[in-house]
Structure 1
């Protein structure tokens, strides 16, 4: 039922609803539509539907959900942490370090709470956002013509993402039992709140496409630091292995969505392509910008005033650093959109530059 399942970002049942084809008319299921609803057709082969090299050829043997053991916390060395400290700016802030005298476990607690934030982000991204779109791809209800093999691979992605969500929730529960550290995270992750607000500002005829673009963005960003963390022996094994599992699966997802973008772009009208491209920079920043309110609440929980917490977070996340991070992790995503001609338009390039992505 609309608006009652999970978070409301359009119709929660849209990926399964037989009445919905986001770019195709019911009376013309093979035709894509532009923003005004006018049917258009890609020429045979124009969108690459006649060729597809699946990145999931060895999925049954190599996917985490098929081949990996459950990641369980066990005894860890005294010098092993729950997250890489260099990826947690709060852990190295001088005012946090000053608390070690009265709170010897403060460094560990900061890392544990960051791990919770990462696991919660992962679980809710996969369940509430990515798999909604993946279901639509698998069932052929989003109106993008795809080879049958691509639709079958979408079922595999759905399994992967569901398992990533389960693994994240499972590991978070284990860490709570092992450390007795609690995290006061928002029920709705900050990136979802920002996405919802953006969708509220989005013209109705672009809402579904914007959600799809957000998934393409989320699946093609590359965070090299997390890949490195999967091999970092200073991290407790269960966390290290869970991060590595996720990274290995996401490599296949990245390859898939790069191909999916070409299919999608080839089936949009030139006018809709331009309107869609103008939305991508904001979607990248929605995904990459830090959850400042959550970190501020955490700092207050360590005994700081709200003013001090705000000052600490401002020091942790200066605008220049936040923008530089967004540019770094989105380089491959930007290249994918450039490869389909999205950045050929001068206004689109200006929009990417205005968000610090060029």
Structure 2
């Protein structure tokens, strides 16, 4: 794809964007969960189940608050920054007006998602009376993107930022879709995720198309430099260090005995996703590499050789 082939989704945005079409989501006072058990393995651990199952709702509330906080950081500090720079034509990779218009709709959507998430958190606090005790100041991308940018020349940093954000947006879309299908949580939360998914599906396509446009005109030497930093980005992005730190802080906030806390810390220490081809998010990342045409390039295939067995099984 080249920039002349790009078709704006402005009409779709006007007709379907959640800021245009969705009502405010109000959290229900019912028996359903605030947050899926599967997304907070700590509460499924043997020690938690045996010793402090009565604290489940407190822990799940904290999981929801972290998720919302992560969304706000992602939308306002990472995606907003890149999309706004493209929209205002202050990006080293130049795009035509149709791309820049769509980038501004992404800015509007993402800031709206952050606003909706903050509203939902306040509703949840009012309903449960549970205050957030842990709100991280960064997410994995807060570390992964700078780590990748530091390895390329200044002239390529915007291009690398574009690709990193595109990877994250495509990964997030599939993650939100799984959340939206979970029947254990309150309908308002499922609705919130479904609303988010409606916009993110459009965003993931947008970022993949911009990446394809850039990659199609990038010189081979630049492609090789960028391919070389992709494993570094992935390794930082797929760690669970921030989640593990959150879990340890959550344990400290629980009203439990020292021996129980120690046992929980041991179980948290054993929880880690592999960063190789078995990582559950890697399939989403490799799907993006295929859809954006990066995986058609020999230097990218070589750089990602350690991750590609998953891609071969999916094909």
Q: Same fold (TM over 0.5)?
A: yes
Shift of 1:141: 1.7
Asked if residue 279 in structure 1 is aligned to residue 232 in structure 2, the reply is no
Alpha-carbon distance between aligned partners in 2 of 1:192 and 1:299, rounded to the nearest angstrom: 24
2:11 corresponds to: 57
Greater percentage in helix: 2
Contact 2:231 2:303 in 1 (8 A): yes
CA deviations 1:153-190 (Å, max 9, x no partner) are 11111110010111111111221222222231222334
Q: 1:288 to 1:69 in 2, by over 3 A?
A: farther
Q: Note the 1:211-290 alignment, pairs <5 A.
A: 211-221=161-171, 224=174, 226-290=176-240
User: Any gaps of 5 or more consecutive residues in structure 2?
Assistant: none
The counterpart of 1:187, out of the listed 129, 137, 150, is 137
The counterpart of 2:69, out of the listed 120, 139, 142, is 120
More moved, 286-295 vs 191-200: 191-200
* Corresponding residue SS for 2:218: coil
Alpha-carbon distance between aligned partners in 1 of 2:235 and 2:4, rounded to the nearest angstrom: 34
1:319 corresponds to: 274
Q: 1:225 to 1:143 in 2, by over 3 A?
A: closer
Asked if residue 159 in structure 1 is aligned to residue 113 in structure 2, the reply is no
CA deviations 1:190-220 (Å, max 9, x no partner) are 4314444554455444433332222111112
The counterpart of 1:139, out of the listed 88, 97, 109, is 88
Q: 1:334 to 1:51 in 2, by over 3 A?
A: closer
Q: 1:297 to 1:213 in 2, by over 3 A?
A: same
Shift of 1:223: 5.4
Asked if residue 48 in structure 1 is aligned to residue 2 in structure 2, the reply is yes
Shift of 1:267: 3.2
Contact 1:289 1:326 in 2 (8 A): no
Contact 2:43 2:49 in 1 (8 A): yes
Calculate the TM-score normalised by the size of structure 1.
0.76
Q: 1:355 to 1:247 in 2, by over 3 A?
A: same
Q: 1:355 to 1:296 in 2, by over 3 A?
A: farther
Q: 1:187 to 1:87 in 2, by over 3 A?
A: closer
* Corresponding residue SS for 1:324: coil
Q: 1:224 to 1:129 in 2, by over 3 A?
A: closer
Shift of 1:234: 2.8
Alpha-carbon distance between aligned partners in 1 of 2:70 and 2:266, rounded to the nearest angstrom: 25
Contact 2:144 2:234 in 1 (8 A): no
More moved, 252-261 vs 199-208: 199-208
Alpha-carbon distance between aligned partners in 2 of 1:355 and 1:279, rounded to the nearest angstrom: 14
Calculate the TM-score normalised by the size of structure 2.
0.85
Contact 2:173 2:197 in 1 (8 A): no
1:336 corresponds to: 291
Contact 2:177 2:194 in 1 (8 A): yes
2:253 corresponds to: 301
Shift of 1:91: 2.1
1:7 corresponds to: none
Structure index of larger Rg = 1
Shift of 1:310: 4.3
* Corresponding residue SS for 2:4: coil
> What is the count of residue pairs matched by the alignment?
304
Contact 2:140 2:238 in 1 (8 A): no
Q: 1:262 to 1:334 in 2, by over 3 A?
A: closer
Contact 1:274 1:342 in 2 (8 A): no
Q: 1:84 to 1:335 in 2, by over 3 A?
A: same
Alpha-carbon distance between aligned partners in 1 of 2:72 and 2:101, rounded to the nearest angstrom: 23
Q: 1:53 to 1:262 in 2, by over 3 A?
A: same
User: Any gaps of 5 or more consecutive residues in structure 1?
Assistant: 1-46
Shift of 1:344: 1.3
Q: 1:194 to 1:259 in 2, by over 3 A?
A: closer
